[in-house]
Each structure stands twice: as C-alpha cells, then as structure tokens.
Amino acid sequence: IFFHSPVLCHPSSANMFRNSSASMYGGAGGRGAKASVSSIEGLRNVLHNKIENDSAPAIPTTAPVTASQPNSSPAQASLPENKQELQGLNNRLKNYLDKVQQLKEDNAKLQKEIDDILAKRKAPEIRDWDKIQKPQDDLDKEIKNLTLENAKLLLQIDNNKLALEDFNNKLDDESRMKKELEKDIDTLKKDIEETKQTRDQLQKEMELVEDEVKRLETDHKKEVDNLCEKIKNSEVKVEIDSQNSNLADIVKNIRIHYQKQADKNMKETEEWYKEKFDNIQVKEAQNNEALESGKSEYNKLLKEKKSLQMQIQASLSTIKALEDNLNKVQAENNYRLVPVNNIIVSLEAELKEVRAQVEQKVESYKKLLCLKMKLEKEIQEYDNLMGITADKESLELNIRDALSQ
C-alpha cells in the first residue's frame, strides 16, 4: 500500500527540489516497505489524512529556478518563508514516519492474529469429548437405573392396588355372605321359636290327654266298681222252665262275657291311647330332632359368622397395612425422586448453558471469519489502491533526497 505526500514547492526553492519526485512507502522511512493498519478505522484515518494532505494547496513547480538567477530579490525575500515551510514539512514527515511505525506495529499484531486464526483453522483444537461424555453417560445410567427402580415401584404399587381391589371384592363378598347368613340365622331363629311354641303346645296337649286318660281310667274304674257292686247287690230271679238249668253257670258265663267285653274295651282304649301317644312321641322326637339340628346349624352359623368376622378384620388390617405401605412407598418415591429431578433440572440448565456457550463461540468464530474475510478484501483493495497511486510518479516525493539536501 502506497502513501503519497505532495511536494509543496515555492518558485524560489526550485533549485533545491528540482521538480523531481520519488516514491515513499509506509515503512520506517525506507523504500519497498508496505504499511498496513490494524483495523478498518485505522485505514480510514490514514486515507482521511492522505486526502487532507492531497487537498492542501500545492505550490506549482512548473517554472524551475535555475542557478543563473542568484541575484533575484524576490527569491532572497522568500528564503525565511521557505525555511518555515521546510520545517513544517519536516514536522509532517516526522509525524508521518511515527504514524507509519505505529501502523507497522498494528500490522504485525494483526498479521499475528491472522496467523493464529489460520493456524487454528489448519489444526483445530480437538476437544476431549470423552471427559464430557463420561459424566453424562454416568448420569444417563443413573437416570435409567432410577427409572427402572421407579417402574418397579410403580409396578409394585399397581400390584398392591390390585391386591387391595381383590381384598375389597372379597370383603364385599364376605359382607354379602354375612348378610345372607344373618338372614338365614334370623329365619332359623323364627323356626326355632315356632318349634318351641309347637313343642309347648304339644306338651300341653299331652298333659291334657294324660289328664283325660287318667280321668277316663278313673271313671272306668268307678263304673266297673259300681257294676261289680250292683252285681253283688243285685238279686236276680230267673225262672227257667228248663228242668236242667244251672244258675251258677249262667252267671259265670255272663261274668265271662262282660269281662271279655271290658277287656276288649280296655285293650282298644289302651291301643288308641298308645297309638296317639306314639304319634305324639314321634312328632315330639321329630320336633326335638329339628330343634337339635336347628341348634347345631345355629351354632355352625355362629361359628361361621365369627370366622367371617375374623376374616373381615384380618382383611381390613391387611388393607390398612397395604394402604400404609402404599403411602410409604409413594412418600419414599417422592423423596427419592426429588434429588433426581433436581439433578435433571441442573443438567438441563448446564446443557442449555453449554449450548449457549457453543452457539456464542460459533457466532464469535463466524464474526471473526467474516472480519478476516472483510479485512482480507479491504487489504486487497488497499494493496490495489496503493498500487494505483504508485503509478502516479508526478505526485511522489523523494523524502530521502529532500532530507539529504
């Protein structure tokens, strides 16, 4: 990149500069050194200074002053002014060289940064992803284990719920059976009461029948005694025309006849009463048997009721224990899942932060890449611009020749 400074010449100082020009580059005052800037703003400042220098009014050098006019009074009058202009040019040259030196240093820094970026692009830093992946894998494994354990606990909870529902169904069945048994027990109690009433009624009837039998026996005995007494006291006068009549035999036959009739009546009465008593005893035995069977069935139902109550109590205690176990398992799961959820939340936050950092670095890298490309483009334009201005030899200044003079 070429920097040009126009020569400010006065007609009286033409013998010093001879209207000659040379090129000066932006190095440390030497030829062939190119000056660069560290940023676009530096380039703009340099170009702005160049434009200001170019726009300064230049003293025409079309009429060189030769040595054949040494006694010109206007030239002698302008010598102090030429010295002041030369001093100003020297100061500007010094400032310009300092600026060139600063631009060289900035150019070196920028070149170093570009070389570092190119070196990083050629040999990018390999990040050890294993160190980052290992704790993540461990956490994933721990999360999987906790998930499996949570699934097992959920399965156990479901099993406990199913067992609880089964026990509730059994409890409902047992309660329904209990109600049915209570109804049967009430029915049996009613039957037992009816049987007791029937038995009491039959006992009363038996007592009445026994009293009736005793009364009939007493009446029969009284009648027999009365008949015997009448027979003893009766005087029977029998007149028989038969010559061979035997009164004793006739009385004996009558007595035997009545005795047979009385025995027959007694036997029939005894058989009737015996048959009736047998029927009553059969009924009483049946009633007693039914009563005993009712009592045994009642006792059996009471035992079943007690066993069902015990089973219901055991089922209720089991249900309560299962509910307590379920609540305990749920509380334990919640307690154990809280740190896991916290770890997951922290890992998600770290992952978001890492992603944000990666995106930020990628964005920064893209910006640096764009800046590099832009700088390369501007440097190329700058080189082209300096190449174009280097062709204008009429505007170049041979600084070394000016300093030597």
CA of residue 15 relative to chain centroid, distance: 97
Q: What is the pLDDT of residues 330-352, one digit of tens each?
A: 888 888 888 888 888 888 888 88
Residue 37 has pLDDT above 50, yes or no: no
pLDDT classification of 282: cutoffs 50, 70, 90: confident
Q: How far apart are CA 223 and CA 317, in angstroms?
A: 80
First to last CA, the chain: 27
How many Cα atoms within 13 Å fall on the side-chain side of residue 345?
6
Rounded Cα gap, residues 39 and 387, in angstroms: 20
- C-alpha Rg value of the chain to the nearest Å: 73
Domain residue ranges of the chain, discontinuous segments joined by +: 11-126, 129-238+245-361
pTM: 0.30
Average pLDDT, the chain: 72
With beta carbons less than 8 A apart as the criterion, state whether 405 and 16 touch.
yes
What is the DSSP secondary structure assignment for residue 60, as one 8-state letter?
P
Res 126: pLDDT: 61
Provide the token pair at 9: 């010449």
174 token code pair: 């047992």
Q: Which two tokens stand for residue 44?
A: 């703009």
pLDDT exceeds cutoff 50 at 38: no
Task: Quote the CA–CA distance of 88 and 150 in Å, as a whole number.
Answer: 88
Show the DSSP H helices in 234-246 as ranges. Answer: none
pLDDT at position 246 is: 66
Q: ∠66-89-10 over CA atoms, to 5°? A: 30
Q: What is the mean pLDDT of residues 302-327?
A: 86
- pLDDT-based confidence at residue 15 (cuts at 50, 70, 90): very low
- Which residues does 293 contact at the CB level (< 8 Å), separation at least 6? none
| pLDDT at residue 21, rounded to an integer | 37
51-81 tens-digit pLDDT = 455 444 444 333 333 333 444 444 455 677 7
Number of other CB atoms surrounding residue 261 within 10 Å:
10
Per-residue pLDDT, averaged over 173-182, amounts to 85
Over residues 274-282, the mean pLDDT reads: 80
3-state secondary structure of 69: coil
Residues above pLDDT 90, as percent of the chain:
0
